[in-house]
Amino acid sequence: PDQVYGTENGKDQAILAEIKRFHEKGRPILVGTTSVEHSETIHHYLQREKISHNVLNAKIHQSEALIVAQAGRKGAVTISTNMAGRGTDILLGGNPEGMAAETLEKELFDRPQLAQLAATLLSEGEDAARNLAQRHGKLNPDLVGALLTTKAEFDAALAEIEEVQVIGYLARTLQEPYDMDYNGILTVLRMVHGGRLGEAREFVESLGKDVALVDDTLRQWNIYTRYVSLKGDNSKTAQFLAEVLFEQHYNARAALTRAVLAGDLDEARAVVQRVPGLEADIIDRIVALKQQTEHERQEVWQIGGLHVIGSERHESRRIDNQLRGRAARQGDPGSS
């Protein structure tokens, strides 16, 4: 039910009192506001009371998924502007996939660190790069080999591209994976190069082939065209190689997490063996996270689930209902 207050401060104090009451029980709390300013006001009140919390607004959107992943944990307090528009579900006990992503992000190397390794490799040589990787807490000497392999593959492609251009190279290399003849691939390449992506998809579909070819063609065209333009520039080449390898690694981390959470440990081990820079003990840590969230889910369930507080009425009743609906989802306990 609505509660109406004579002053803004009176309402804020009531919100604070309700947060404290449910926080003492250990229940996760979601506070939905309609403005960034009001989120900041509540944030300052909670800071003063020394209540640990997270704030979700446009200023920190990059970490949004990680914050929402934690929002259903025991004792979690989350303040959000426009929560209804955020697609990620709040799971009681925490979202194991989101929490695993956060753990891997903290423990494994990031893009700038890999770029530093690639720059050392190209400017100072393989030994210097391996020494850097061994000294660095998050890098692995195996990544040096992966960077060398990636560079060798692109250099081999570059040698062929100098003879037949990017279009000729892709016309040859895309035939086998997409089971299409040279002329068919060439037609797609010309359409993609001309920006006629819709027409290219229709053409591929008419042949009964996989339309993923069109997006793959565009991606590879851009990648190889960029590599050609970097020839002779070690600094930009290092950045390029780091980006390519980091994207592969990032996708592998997600695949590893999905495999572990699905209980497919054989596939998880295969990913670790296949991808340089992934250690086998990561699997154990993700398994432990999964067990932790399952245990915490039972605890949060028993004390009443997620409690949702709306700081003011939204002009759209649908938005208000969506905020309320964050609690007691799919048979979970909860209140608002």
CA distances 165 to 162, 228, 241, Å, are 6, 10, 21
Indicate the angle between helix axes 142-173 and 212-229, nearest 10 degrees: 120
The sheet carrying 306-310 orders its strands as 54-56, 77-81, 29-33, 306-310, 334-335
Mean pLDDT over 100-113 rounds to: 90
Percentage with pLDDT > 90 across the chain: 68
Other Cβ atoms within 10 Å of 189 Cβ, number = 22
How is 69-86 classified by DSSP, letter by letter?
A: HHTTSTT-EEEEESGGG-
Cβ 32 vs Cβ 310: under 8 Å: yes
Query: Is it the case that residue 60 has pLDDT exceeding 60?
Result: no
Percentage with pLDDT > 70 across the chain: 95
pLDDT in tens, 309-324: 888 887 777 777 777 7
Q: Which domains does the chain have, with CATH numbers?
A: 8-105+297-335 (3.40.50.300), 109-186+231-277 (no CATH)
Cβ 91 vs Cβ 70: under 8 Å: no
41: which 2 tokens? 């006001």
CA–CA gap between residue 308 and residue 327 (Å, rounded): 6
Q: Are strands 29-33 and 306-310 parallel, antiparallel or unpaired?
A: parallel
Mean pLDDT value across the chain: 89
Query: Is it the case that residue 57 has pLDDT exceeding 90?
Result: no
Query: Is it the case that residue 85 has pLDDT exceeding 60?
Result: no
Query: Is it the case that residue 59 has pLDDT exceeding 60?
Result: no
Exposure of 167 in the CB half-sphere (CA atoms within 13 A) = 11
Residue type, position 139, single letter = L
Q: Residue 30's beta-bridge partner residues?
A: 78, 308
pLDDT in tens, 135-160: 998 999 999 999 999 999 999 999 99
Q: Three-class SS of residue 94?
A: coil
Mean pLDDT over 107-133 rounds to: 95
